[in-house]
Amino acid sequence: MKDYAFYNVGCNGARGPKGILVLVRRVVRRILRPIFVRQAELFLHLANLVDDHEHRIFELRVDNLDLKQSHEVLSERQDELTVRHGELSEQIQTTMAFGWDYVAMVRRLATLEDQIAALTGTAGAPADEGDPHHSILFPGLEKAARRSTDDDGEVRSRVC
């Protein structure tokens, strides 16, 4: 067992009761030294654990900052996508409304054509019975068809 020099300071040449005290100190020191060495090892181990935990806490804080930044970026991107989705939704509804407006306009035009044909008595009929009709018969014009009956008896519009 290693004995440090500072333990022996003032112990050299001691006689009498002082010599007995030096002897008792050396015995107590040799008995308690393994306990203190083990305590130093435990404290070193605990200090290393504390250092490791502090290092992990620092890494977690750095990761937390990175996650906050990526969360902000994703939040901004989500906001942009929400705005874009709203714009696309409006465009789709506008396109659908335009399509329905077109359908309504074509129906009105077909009705006007059928009414003009009924008033003038020139309901358009195909040249041949075998030829396909290039126009669609507009429903609901039975009154106009009764007024102007042609060879076919059909009133046709020119909607393709």
Residues constituting the chain = 160
Map out the domains of the chain as residue ranges: 5-147
Q: How confident is the model at residue 121 (pLDDT cuts 50, 70, 90)?
A: confident
Angstrom distance (rounded) from CA 41 to CA 31: 17
Number of H helices, E strands in the chain: 2, 0
Q: Region 1-16: what's the mean pLDDT? A: 62
Once rounded to an integer, what is the mean pLDDT over residues 118-133? 62
pLDDT value at 144 more than 60:
no
88-117 pLDDT per residue, tens: 999 999 988 888 888 899 999 999 998 898
> What is the predicted pLDDT for the residue at 98?
87
Going 142 to 146 to 147 to 149, the CA torsion angle's sign is positive
- Note the pLDDT of residue 4: 61
Q: What is the pLDDT of residue 29?
A: 83
Q: pTM of the full predicted structure?
A: 0.41
pLDDT at 1 over 50: no
pLDDT of 151: 47
Q: Which of 14-28, 42-56, 130-144 has the highest mean pLDDT?
A: 42-56
Most confident residue range from 13-27, 70-84, 116-130, 136-150: 70-84
List CB contacts of 26: < 8 A, sequence separation 6 or more: 7, 11
- Gap between the Cα atoms of 110 and 40, Å rounded: 102
Which residues touch 136 (CB under 8 Å, ≥6 apart)? 110, 156, 157, 159, 160
